[in-house]
Amino acid sequence: MKESRTTTAHLVMGDDGILRIHIFEGALIRLQDVHNHYESAHRLTGNQKALVLVYGNVNYRITREAQRYAATQAHTRRATAVLTSKRSVMFITWLYRLFFRPATPIRPFTSEEKALAWLKSFQK
């Protein structure tokens, strides 16, 4: 297991091939933070396309500029599951899909078991 920390998240590359991103409570994710996330993720995954599980059950915000950039980086991922029980995070995830149209699938989940099963359906 490999891991890395940024100013807004803790990233862990699991032995199961899934990159887990634990966003810190109260984080404000700006463009530079997203650059740092992707740089850390590339190191952890060996520049391979990743299956990503974002733990989004905390209060955080992400700027439009950061969302826009993240959508252009979707080619670095095979799929992203966002685990949350917060309606606001689910709503933001759906809006992100609708307005920024990332090149790879992203979907919110309330169950980690279902999120992992969905991600594993994208494994080669």
Give the whole-angstrom CA distance, residue 59 versus residue 54. Answer: 13
Amino acid at 2: K
Output the pTM of the full model: 0.90
Q: Residues with Cβ < 8 Å from 29, sequence gap 6 or more?
A: 8, 9, 23, 37, 60, 61, 62, 63, 66
pLDDT at 120: 94
pLDDT at 59: 87
Burial of residue 15, with CB atoms counted within 10 A of its CB: 0-12 exposed, 13-18 middle, 19 or more buried? exposed
Per-residue pLDDT tens digits for 32-76: 999 999 999 999 999 899 999 999 889 888 999 998 898 888 778
Long-range Cβ contact pairs of 90-99 (< 8 A, separation 24 or more): 92/62, 93/56, 96/67, 96/71
Provide, rounded to the nearest whole percent, the portion of the chain with pLDDT above 90: 67
Domains of the chain with CATH codes: 2-120 (3.30.750.24)
Mean pLDDT to the nearest integer, 97-102: 83
